[in-house]
């Protein structure tokens, strides 16, 4: 019991320090922008994905302040609107203008409808005043989650949600009513994706692998192009739209040997991303935080076009 009390006291003191007005935080470690649990006290590359480590404050758990507005103020389905975001430091209130590049972009934005039928993955552009803007058209009236994913330089990775309700919508604001997919093969614009889970039933708190096999008809696809610096992209969202997993394909071919040799990657660091090709096997991993239904939107770039596949699955308690 003494250890529990001491740990709780330390946590309270830590949060109090981070919450102190004017506290700016300190760059405390080198961290992988994609695998936030991998940190070092010196620079280097992530052994899981090959990304260069960045100097950050990964233990500062505060959310940055995100101001979100639209032009026009009332968004109508089927009509283009400008989405504008301004990001402020949680301690100083100053506008943040420097961000890390994570998978080729500094700002990843997801627009997901309440019924989880509509999914958009787009990338705002930074303006001279530090704000970010992007034009978007919502396909139908309803309630949407606007999810901002970015990493301030010297700060910690952020994934912040804001609501958006279109004009004239008076329906439910609760989550979707999902049903697990039984057909694990889907075709989008000529590309067929067949999914297998490992383990077959995803368990809460353990990594679940989403293994895709890509084909054109019965022919394995070996000319898959990179998308955002990898051979695919996946966002997994819980049915209540509270929890998420942002995942890119596993890139490791071989771990360092006993002699301390370098890891081997499917996409070597510094490779020409427009020249390299992959497939037909692509694997993602996710760690689901609670039991329930989840929807995964997985994107692949093939023949210069991004194709999106949606699969729904169940995560169960151990």
Q: Is the pLDDT of residue 27 over 60?
A: no
Higher pLDDT among residues 57 and 40, named by residue? 40
Higher pLDDT among residues 173 and 147, named by residue? 147
Q: Find the CATH number of the domain harbouring 213.
A: 2.60.40.10
DSSP the chain: -HHHHHHHHHHHHHHHHHHSTT------EEE-SS-TT-EESS--B-TTT-PBPEEE-TT--PPPEEEEEEESSS--TTS-EEEEEEEE-TTT-PBP--B--BTTBSEEEEEEETTS--EEEE--EE-TTS-EEEEE--SSSSEEEEEEEE-BTTS--EEEEEEEE-TT--S--S-------S--EEEETTEEEEEEEESSSEETTSEEEEEEEEEETTEEP--BBPBTTBB-EEEEEETTS--EEEE----EEE---TT-PPPEESS-TT--TTT--B-SEEEEEEE--SSEEEEEEEEEEETTEEEEEEEEEEEE--
Give me the mean pLDDT over the 93-97 stretch: 96
Q: Is residue 110 part of a domain?
A: yes
Q: Which of 14-18, 126-130, 186-190, 200-204 has the lowest average pLDDT?
A: 14-18
Share of the chain above pLDDT 70, in %: 83
Query: Are residues 156 and 78 located together in one domain of the fold?
Result: yes
Query: Are residues 195 and 305 located together in one domain of the fold?
Result: yes
Question: What's the rounded Cα separation, in Å, for the pair 55 and 50?
Answer: 16
- Quote the pLDDT of residue 269: 74
Q: Is residue 170 part of a domain?
A: no
Q: Find the CATH number of the domain harbouring 101.
A: 2.60.40.1930
Under 8 Å CB-to-CB from 120, ≥6 apart: which residues? 110, 111, 112, 136
Query: Are residues 145 and 198 located together in one domain of the fold?
Result: no
Q: Is residue 254 part of a domain?
A: yes
- Quote the pLDDT of residue 31: 74
Question: What's the rounded Cα separation, in Å, for the pair 275 and 271?
Answer: 8
Q: Using the 3D structure, point to which of 165, 196, 219 is the last residue of a domain.
A: 165
Higher pLDDT among residues 298 and 1, named by residue? 298
Domain assignment of residue 87, given as a range: 62-165
- Quote the pLDDT of residue 261: 63
pLDDT band (50, 70, 90) for residue 220: very high
pLDDT tens digits, 43-80:
777 766 666 777 766 666 789 999 999 999 999 999 99
Higher pLDDT among residues 38 and 217, named by residue? 217
Higher pLDDT among residues 270 and 24, named by residue? 270
Q: Is residue 49 part of a domain?
A: no
Q: Using the 3D structure, point to which of 132, 165, 198 is the last residue of a domain.
A: 165
Q: Is the pLDDT of residue 14 over 60?
A: no
Question: What's the rounded Cα separation, in Å, for the pair 224 and 302?
Answer: 5
Per the structure, the count of domains in the chain is 2
- Quote the pLDDT of residue 297: 98
Query: Are residues 205 and 157 located together in one domain of the fold?
Result: no
pLDDT tens digits, 105-156:
999 999 999 999 999 999 999 999 999 999 999 999 999 999 999 999 888 8
> How much is the mean pLDDT over the chain?
86
Query: Are residues 105 and 226 located together in one domain of the fold?
Result: no
Q: Is residue 44 part of a domain?
A: no
Query: Are residues 216 and 312 located together in one domain of the fold?
Result: yes
Q: Is residue 30 part of a domain?
A: no
User: Taking the C-alpha atoms of 71, 72, 73 and 77 in order, what is their torsion angle to the nearest 10 degrees?
Assistant: -110
- Quote the pLDDT of residue 189: 98
Give me the mean pLDDT over the 221-242 stretch: 94
Q: Is residue 48 part of a domain?
A: no
Query: Are residues 70 and 145 located together in one domain of the fold?
Result: yes
- Quote the pLDDT of residue 20: 42
- Quote the pLDDT of residue 175: 73
Question: What's the rounded Cα separation, in Å, for the pair 46 and 30?
Answer: 10
Distances from the Cα of 305 to the Cα of 7, 30, 227, angstroms: 51, 35, 10
Q: Is the pLDDT of residue 307 over 70?
A: yes
Share of the chain above pLDDT 90, in %: 64
């Amino acid at each position: 019991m003494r250890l529990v009390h001491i740990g709780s006291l330390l946590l309270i003191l830590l949060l109090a320090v981070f919450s102190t007005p004017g506290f700016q935080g300190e760059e405390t470690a080198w961290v992988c922008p994609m695998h936030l649990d991998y940190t070092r006290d010196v620079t280097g590359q992530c052994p899981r994905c090959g990304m260069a480590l960045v100097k950050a404050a990964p233990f500062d758990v505060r959310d940055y302040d995100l101001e979100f507005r639209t032009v026009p103020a009332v968004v109508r389905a089927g009509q283009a609107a400008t989405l504008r975001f301004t990001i402020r430091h949680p301690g100083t209130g100053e506008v943040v203008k420097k961000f890390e590049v994570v998978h080729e972009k500094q700002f990843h934005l997801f627009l997901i409808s309440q019924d989880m039928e509509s999914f958009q993955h787009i990338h705002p552009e930074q303006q001279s005043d530090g704000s970010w803007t992007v034009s978007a058209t919502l396909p139908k009236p309803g309630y949407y989650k606007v999810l901002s994913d970015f990493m301030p330089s010297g700060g910690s990775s952020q994934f912040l949600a804001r609501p958006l309700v279109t004009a004239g919508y008076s329906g439910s604001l609760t989550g979707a009513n999902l049903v697990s997919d039984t057909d694990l093969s889907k075709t989008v614009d000529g590309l067929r994706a067949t999914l297998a889970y490992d383990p077959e039933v995803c368990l809460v708190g353990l990594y679940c692998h989403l293994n895709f096999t890509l084909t054109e008809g019965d022919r394995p696809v070996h000319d898959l192009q990179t998308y955002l610096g990898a051979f695919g992209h996946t966002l997994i969202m819980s049915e209540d739209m509270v929890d998420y997993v942002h995942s890119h394909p596993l890139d490791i071919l071989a771990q360092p040997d006993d002699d301390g040799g370098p890891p081997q990657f499917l996409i070597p660091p510094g490779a020409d991303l427009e020249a390299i090709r992959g497939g037909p096997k692509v694997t993602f991993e996710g760690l689901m935080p609670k039991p329930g239904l989840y929807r995964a939107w997985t994107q692949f770039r093939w023949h210069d076009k991004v194709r999106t596949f949606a699969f729904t699955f169940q995560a169960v308690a151990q």
